[in-house]
Homo-oligomer: A and B are copies of this chain.
Amino acid sequence: MEREITPIVLREGYEFINDCSESDVIVVGAGPAGLTCAYELAKSDVDVTIVERKLYVGGGMTGGGMLFPAGVIMEETAEVLEEVGVELRPAEAGLLAFNPVEAAIKLANAALEAGARILVGIEVEDVIERRGRVCGVVVNWTAVKAANMHVDPLALEAEYTVDATGHEAAVCKLAGIEVKGEGPMWAERGEELVVKHTQEVKPGLFVAGMAASAVKGAYRMGPIFGGMLESGKKAAEEILERLTE
């Protein structure tokens, strides 16, 4: 039976990676902002590929706050979580509490159901850039980078690339964008600014979630997630506009 399993896995796996080699949008990072962005894009039938460094989705969300398994969200920004079916429990001051593992899985599930591809174990090591426009990402196996082996990368083409890599803003750095780094914590302002700073930072390259805050040096928020999801959604909406222009 090994005679069949290996060829099927090689072929199916090859075809999946090959499908990822040209997308409408590549979202780098499968955390809350990236998953939301991909979900919103896929809902509108955009061909979208999420590229994730780890073998797993959820980003920094699943550890809750200091490993306390809970997250909060302001009522007015909870729409996406509600839509994907996360249980929301009312708490003080207009905040809702939820289980962050559940939220990560339901967001990923929604993205997949909507048609997004998730490619895991892949690290972005550069961008493709033609005449000043970002045209996708240059990737390698995370394992190859971790093992410090000298192996050439491959290129994944896309109309638009979204940096949703969190406070590292890794794709922005590779694209030569100045990244000021996360500012100190101020939850209220941080929630507003992460959405405000979600934008196209270079032709072809959008930034969303904590990466957007980090680029501008805006405030960090801790385990409150509404701004992140709104940011992912905003990036999706702006890209949709461009794609349909």
A185 engages B128 (CB within 8 Å) = yes
* Residues of chain B contacted by A244 (CB below 8 angstroms): none
CB of A63 to closest CB in B, whole Å:
3
* Residues of chain B contacted by A121 (CB below 8 angstroms): 62-63, 67, 149, 151
Within 8 A of B (CB), among A1-59: 1-14, 16-18, 21-22, 54-59
Within 8 A of B (CB), among A196-245: 219-220, 222-224
Q: How far is the CA of A27 from the CA of B121 in the complex (A)?
A: 26
CB of A226 to closest CB in B, whole Å:
11
Is A80 in contact with chain B by the CB < 8 A criterion? Answer: no
Are A13 and B70 also in contact (CB < 8 A) when A55-B149, A92-B8, A105-B109 are?
yes
Residue of A13, A97, A136, A141 with most chain B CB atoms under a 10 A cut-off = A13
A150 engages B8 (CB within 8 Å) = no
17 further contact pairs, Cβ within 8 A, besides A6-B156, A12-B89: A1-B187, A1-B188, A3-B22, A4-B92, A5-B95, A5-B222, A9-B65, A13-B64, A55-B58, A62-B121, A64-B152, A66-B144, A106-B109, A129-B186, A134-B184, A138-B222, A147-B147
Q: Which 3 A-B pairs have the closest CB atoms?
A: A13-B68, A63-B151, A56-B56
